[in-house]
Chains A and B, each alone.
Chain A
Amino acid sequence: MLLPSVPVTRFTAVRLASLGTKVRAAEADIPYAGSASRATLVIVGADMSSTIGAEETFCVATQPLADVNGSASYLGWGWLSISVPNLIVILVMILLFVLAIVLPFPKDRQNR
């Protein structure tokens, strides 16, 4: 005897914000029914709501600027793969490091 499978959407928080959004390309239903369905979404937008289960939704205190709840996009070359957020962090770090050693530092106002 089998029990019926109940479809569940995982990333069901799609409340398009008013700041101009790109809609998510697809959404995976029944993502964990043992099949190989994958959520490969590119989300760039302003939806910040997140879900607890499929029926609750709440907002953060401030108006969000970016939708960071969908799956990130990934860049890959062979077995190299990096999420765009991680890549941004690493690039920012490299930029900060380069700027830190290249940018001139204020001179001392008085000498000793």
Chain B
Amino acid sequence: MSKSLEVVLPTENGLHARPATKFVEMASRFSSDICISKDGTSVSGKSVIEILTLAAEYGSKLLISAEGEDEEEAVEALVKLVEKSFQE
């Protein structure tokens, strides 16, 4: 069982250091395994370096998936974070 949602990246400079850090900070609060995928490449949503290597630019379609006990809340919260351009 797992949950996935797609979201479009609205940040001007893409998923660089600052937003990646914010993403990881939130993802680490959940117990589920979290993944972000872009164009078929999938990385751990809890690893800031791996997220950077995705080099996701403004407008890219990201698939956020989670598997575990709190997978529903995890995906919803993270998608919301992205949609709000990582302003918490």
Q: Do they bind each other?
A: no
